[in-house]
Amino acid sequence: MGKGYLSYSATAILQAVASGYRYGFDIMDITGLPSGTVYPALRRMEETGLVISRWEKEGAAQREQRPARKYYEVTRDGEDVLAEAVRRYRLAEHLRPTTTKAKPSRQQG
Protein backbone atom coordinates (compact mmCIF):
# COMPACT_ATOMS: atom_id res chain seq x y z
CA MET A 1 0.00 0.00 0.00
CA GLY A 2 1.68 3.15 -1.16
CA LYS A 3 1.46 6.55 0.25
CA GLY A 4 -1.67 7.30 -1.65
CA TYR A 5 -3.93 4.46 -0.74
CA LEU A 6 -6.15 4.78 2.28
CA SER A 7 -8.52 2.19 3.61
CA TYR A 8 -11.99 3.27 4.60
CA SER A 9 -11.25 3.38 8.30
CA ALA A 10 -7.94 5.17 7.70
CA THR A 11 -9.84 7.79 5.70
CA ALA A 12 -12.22 8.27 8.56
CA ILE A 13 -9.34 8.66 11.00
CA LEU A 14 -7.45 11.09 8.77
CA GLN A 15 -10.58 13.09 8.27
CA ALA A 16 -11.11 13.27 12.03
CA VAL A 17 -7.60 14.59 12.49
CA ALA A 18 -8.11 17.11 9.71
CA SER A 19 -11.30 18.24 11.39
CA GLY A 20 -9.49 19.04 14.56
CA TYR A 21 -9.83 15.83 16.55
CA ARG A 22 -6.18 15.43 17.26
CA TYR A 23 -5.83 13.26 20.28
CA GLY A 24 -6.05 9.49 20.00
CA PHE A 25 -8.99 8.99 22.30
CA ASP A 26 -10.92 11.86 20.71
CA ILE A 27 -10.46 10.27 17.32
CA MET A 28 -11.75 7.03 18.75
CA ASP A 29 -14.83 8.79 20.05
CA ILE A 30 -15.71 10.59 16.85
CA THR A 31 -15.02 7.75 14.43
CA GLY A 32 -16.33 5.00 16.65
CA LEU A 33 -13.31 2.88 15.80
CA PRO A 34 -11.53 0.93 18.54
CA SER A 35 -8.11 1.88 19.84
CA GLY A 36 -6.64 -1.24 18.26
CA THR A 37 -7.49 0.25 14.88
CA VAL A 38 -6.90 3.94 15.47
CA TYR A 39 -3.41 3.83 16.90
CA PRO A 40 -1.83 1.47 14.38
CA ALA A 41 -3.41 3.53 11.61
CA LEU A 42 -2.00 6.74 13.08
CA ARG A 43 1.46 5.17 13.28
CA ARG A 44 1.28 3.98 9.68
CA MET A 45 0.17 7.37 8.49
CA GLU A 46 2.94 9.05 10.44
CA GLU A 47 5.45 6.72 8.85
CA THR A 48 4.22 7.55 5.35
CA GLY A 49 4.20 11.26 6.10
CA LEU A 50 0.46 11.91 6.09
CA VAL A 51 0.39 13.14 9.68
CA ILE A 52 2.93 14.36 12.19
CA SER A 53 2.81 14.08 15.91
CA ARG A 54 3.68 16.55 18.66
CA TRP A 55 3.56 16.67 22.41
CA GLU A 56 1.37 19.28 24.02
CA LYS A 57 3.11 22.01 25.99
CA GLU A 58 4.40 21.01 29.38
CA GLY A 59 2.70 23.77 31.28
CA ALA A 60 -0.87 22.60 30.90
CA ALA A 61 0.01 19.02 31.67
CA GLN A 62 1.98 19.85 34.77
CA ARG A 63 -0.82 21.98 36.13
CA GLU A 64 -3.22 19.05 35.87
CA GLN A 65 -0.63 16.66 37.22
CA ARG A 66 -0.71 14.31 34.27
CA PRO A 67 1.74 13.44 31.49
CA ALA A 68 1.76 15.59 28.34
CA ARG A 69 -0.50 14.24 25.62
CA LYS A 70 0.52 13.53 22.08
CA TYR A 71 -1.50 15.07 19.28
CA TYR A 72 -1.50 14.60 15.54
CA GLU A 73 -1.73 17.03 12.65
CA VAL A 74 -2.35 16.46 8.97
CA THR A 75 0.50 17.38 6.64
CA ARG A 76 0.19 18.87 3.15
CA ASP A 77 0.67 15.40 1.66
CA GLY A 78 -1.95 14.09 4.01
CA GLU A 79 -4.43 16.69 2.86
CA ASP A 80 -3.91 15.70 -0.75
CA VAL A 81 -4.33 12.05 -0.01
CA LEU A 82 -7.38 12.74 2.07
CA ALA A 83 -9.02 14.74 -0.71
CA GLU A 84 -8.36 11.90 -3.12
CA ALA A 85 -9.74 9.34 -0.69
CA VAL A 86 -12.83 11.37 -0.02
CA ARG A 87 -13.48 11.48 -3.73
CA ARG A 88 -13.14 7.74 -3.86
CA TYR A 89 -15.26 6.96 -0.90
CA ARG A 90 -18.12 9.23 -1.80
CA LEU A 91 -19.83 8.32 1.37
CA ALA A 92 -16.90 9.82 3.25
CA GLU A 93 -18.20 13.22 2.30
CA HIS A 94 -21.14 12.52 4.48
CA LEU A 95 -18.98 11.29 7.29
CA ARG A 96 -17.39 14.68 7.76
CA PRO A 97 -18.29 15.61 11.33
CA THR A 98 -20.85 18.34 11.62
CA THR A 99 -19.16 19.86 14.60
CA THR A 100 -15.59 20.84 14.04
CA LYS A 101 -13.63 20.77 17.22
CA ALA A 102 -12.37 24.21 18.14
CA LYS A 103 -8.66 24.57 17.50
CA PRO A 104 -6.78 24.28 20.79
CA SER A 105 -6.03 27.54 22.46
CA ARG A 106 -2.53 28.69 23.01
CA GLN A 107 -2.69 27.65 26.64
CA GLN A 108 -3.27 24.00 25.88
CA GLY A 109 -0.64 23.91 23.15
Partner 1 sequence: MPSVTPNPALKLKPHLWLIRAIGVIVPRRWRADWRQEWEAELRYRETLLAEWDKLDWQTKVDLLRRSLGAFWDALLLQPWRLEDEMFQDLRYGVRMLWKKPGFTFIAVFTLALGIGASTAIFSVVDAVLLRPLPYPQAERIVSAREVDAQGRQITFADRNFQDVQARSRTLAAAAEYVSQLTTVLGGSEPVRLQVAYVSRDFFKVLGVQPAVGRAFLPEETKVGGNPVAVVSAGYWEKLLGSRSDLGATPLRIDGTNYTIVGVMPRGFNFPKDAEVWLPIEPFPESQSRTAHGIRVIARLGEGVTLAKARAELSTIGKQLKQENGKDIDLVDIAAPPLQEALVGESSKTLLVILAAVAFLLLIACANVVNLLLAQMTARQHEFDVRAALGATRLRMARQFMAENLLLSLLAGGVGVLLSFWGVQALLLLNQNNLPRADEISVNLRALAFTFAISSLVAIVLGFVPLLRFGGRDLQARLKEAGRGQTANASSHWLRATLVMTQVALTLVLLVGAGLLGKSFMKLLQVDPGFRTDSAVAMEISVPVQSGNNEAQARAYFYQQLLERVRALPGVVAAGGVNGLPMTGGGADGQFLIDNNPALKGYGEFRIATPGYFGAMGIQLLRGRLLADSDSPDAQHAAVISNALARQYWPNEDPIGKRIQYGNMDGDMRLLRIVGVVSDVREFGLDANPRPTVYAHYLQRPRQAWSFTIVTRAQGDPAALIPTLRTTLQSLSRDVPAEFRTLAQVFSSSLDNRRFSLVLFGVFAVVALLLAALGIYGVTSYAVTQRTPELGVRIALGAQGRDILRLVIGQGMKVVLIGVALGLAGAFALTRLIANLLFAMSATDPLTFAGIAVLLLFVALLACYVPAQRATRVDPMVALRHE
Tell me if residue 88 falls in helix, strand or coil: helix
Count of C-beta atoms within a 10 Å radius of residue 31: 22
Give dist(CA 59, CA 28) in Å, integer: 25
The residues in 16-35 that bind partner 1, with binding defined as CB under 8 A, are: 23-25, 28, 34-35
Interface residue with partner 1 among 52, 62, 88, 96 (CB under 8 A) is 62
Asked if 81 and 98 touch (Cβ cutoff 8 Å), the reply is no
Is 2 a binder of partner 1 (CB under 8 A)? Answer: no
- From residue 99, alpha-carbon distances to 30, 78, 96, 103 in Å are 10, 21, 9, 12
Closest distance to partner 1 from the beta carbon of 106 (Å): 17
100 binds partner 1 (CB under 8 A): no
Determine if 95 is a binding residue for partner 1 (CB under 8 A).
no
Q: Is 13 in the site for partner 1 (CB under 8 A)?
A: no
Chain centre to alpha carbon of residue 83: 14
Determine if 59 is a binding residue for partner 1 (CB under 8 A). no
Tell me the site size for partner 1, rule CB under 8 A. Answer: 23
Site of interaction with partner 1 (CB under 8 A): 23-25, 28, 34-40, 43, 55, 58, 61-62, 64-70
